[in-house]
A and B are shown apart, each in its own frame.
Chain A
């Protein structure tokens, strides 16, 4: 689906964590991001969405969130718990 060029990573997260089938996973992510299901695969739309919400870019620039930083924002936007984010917060003394 295009990974972090689009919304592929987030749709994949909903499948892996919640066992959602593709249609349900796409709808969930689209609703949370405020875009259409078709937009999820569109890199033109998704680049702006990802930059605005700090969800990480496929070709990052220095001051945009990458790695764990982006996942922190993804967890917030999607309303889910991401294991690595929680572990990071605990190890960093943030919780």
Chain B
């Protein structure tokens, strides 16, 4: 029986027969459609996905003319973080522009969250200016809202992740609500500094990582930034395909945030004024690449269908169908990208 080279969600190599791949695709599509209450991929989409997964060759690509653009999450520090190459962040950004062909690049604080960056906003502005003078590509300032950092001992509010299991529900909800205000303040503060130095945009990375309160903080900060600085772009990238209900009752524009999937998340991001939405679908390490990319495509296709703003799918480690491992295998990474472009009609990666 003919089998095809592919990988599991943890990047380990496996060989699968046609019916195994097709079954994984249809199972994953059905599950995603049920969870998200969204249309499944069409049979044509699933057949096309099978073709992509089983294409010969290591790297696959889209047709000439169908290329899309790229954004990144704090990529200007990733060369150092991932390889130990001791380059200053502006130099790293230039490497991305002049060697890697990046369409945009982010500047991010080494302790990659807005709370930690805030006291250093002055020196961050200087690094931003150095980059802006030398770079041609759009330059964004990136950070994580990361509401968890506002909890004790790192921050001023009680830790709701400890209060909830102890049954202290009211205290846990109040702590999250307080943390939202602190986080919004810090994000708007940094955005103002960056806007005044000339940055093209702000990237809120992993919005929703600490649950629905975290997502609310990103939405409120986005709204404030776009009101104060209407010509500053805001990219809002999510942490997961599902907004965890750590609070459960928080709303934005009358919509409860807990339990939202990408097609509902993007609507609120758009309402808040975001100009780019970074959709996320998490990889299951125990399932095949076929299962993971089929699931991703089902969620992302609907997200892209309903969105009026560009959708840039997160395709890093453990998201967007990509396996959960440090070194991304180019065979499945390129297949994930091709599938997302051709089936989901996304605007960027």
Pair A1/B136 contact, Cβ less than 8 Å: no
Of chain B, the residue at the smallest CB distance from A65 is B136
Inter-chain CA distance A64–B276, complex, in Å, is 31
Residues of A within 8 A of B198 (CB): 83-88
Of chain A, the residue at the smallest CB distance from B203 is A16
Q: Is A93 an interface residue (CB 8 A)?
A: no
Give the number of chain A interface residues (Cβ < 8 Å): 43
Within 8 A of B (CB), among A43-76: 55-56, 58-60, 66-68, 70-71, 74
B135 to chain A, nearest CB (A): 6
B275 to chain A, nearest CB (A): 4
Inter-chain CA distance A22–B67, complex, in Å, is 9
Instruction: Please indicate which of the listed interface residues B64, B140, B231, B310 has the most CB atoms of chain A within 10 Å of its own CB.
Output: B310
Within 8 A of B (CB), among A13-39: 13, 15-22, 25, 37-38
Residues of A within 8 A of B210 (CB): none
Q: Given A8-B69, A15-B347, A58-B97 in contact, is the A20-B310 Cβ separation under 8 Å?
A: yes
Q: Is A82 an interface residue (CB 8 A)?
A: yes
Inter-chain CA distance A64–B20, complex, in Å, is 55
Q: Given A16-B138, A19-B276, A22-B348 in contact, is the A88-B133 Cβ separation under 8 Å?
A: yes
Of chain A, the residue at the smallest CB distance from B105 is A3
Q: Given A17-B275, A22-B310 in contact, is the A81-B348 Cβ separation under 8 Å?
A: no
Inter-chain CA distance A59–B100, complex, in Å, is 11
Pair B132/A84 contact, Cβ less than 8 Å: yes
Pair A19/B200 contact, Cβ less than 8 Å: no
Q: Is B285 an interface residue (CB 8 A)?
A: no
Is the contact region of chain A dominated by helix, strand, or loop, or is it mixed?
Answer: helix
Residues of A within 8 A of B307 (CB): 21
Inter-chain CA distance A83–B98, complex, in Å, is 22
| Cβ proximity bits B89-100 to A, threshold 8 Å, 1 near / 0 not | 000000001101
Q: Is B70 an interface residue (CB 8 A)?
A: yes
Of chain B, the residue at the smallest CB distance from A56 is B136
Pair B310/A17 contact, Cβ less than 8 Å: no
Residues of B within 8 A of A15 (CB): 69, 275-276, 310, 347-348
Pair A4/B137 contact, Cβ less than 8 Å: yes
A-B contact count (CB 8 A): 137
Given A4, A21, A41, A74, which contacts B67 in the complex, CB threshold below 8 Å?
A: A41
Instruction: Please indicate which of the listed interface residues A9, A70, A87 has the most CB atoms of chain B within 10 Å of its own CB.
Output: A9
Q: Given A58-B101, A66-B136 in contact, is the A41-B200 Cβ separation under 8 Å?
A: no
Pair B310/A8 contact, Cβ less than 8 Å: no
Pair B70/A1 contact, Cβ less than 8 Å: yes
Q: Is B159 an interface residue (CB 8 A)?
A: no
Inter-chain CA distance A88–B347, complex, in Å, is 30
Inter-chain CA distance A91–B133, complex, in Å, is 12
Pair A37/B65 contact, Cβ less than 8 Å: yes
Of chain A, the residue at the smallest CB distance from B273 is A19
Q: Is B71 an interface residue (CB 8 A)?
A: yes
Within 8 A of A (CB), among B24-78: 64-65, 67-71
Please provide the 5 A-B residue pairs with the shortest distance between their CB atoms, ordered closest to farther: A84-B198, A16-B233, A87-B198, A8-B103, A38-B65
Known pairs A3-B137, A12-B104, A83-B232; list 20 more (Cβ under 8 Å). Answer: A4-B97, A4-B136, A11-B103, A12-B69, A12-B103, A17-B200, A17-B275, A19-B274, A19-B310, A22-B68, A37-B65, A41-B67, A56-B136, A68-B134, A82-B200, A83-B195, A84-B139, A84-B198, A88-B132, A88-B133
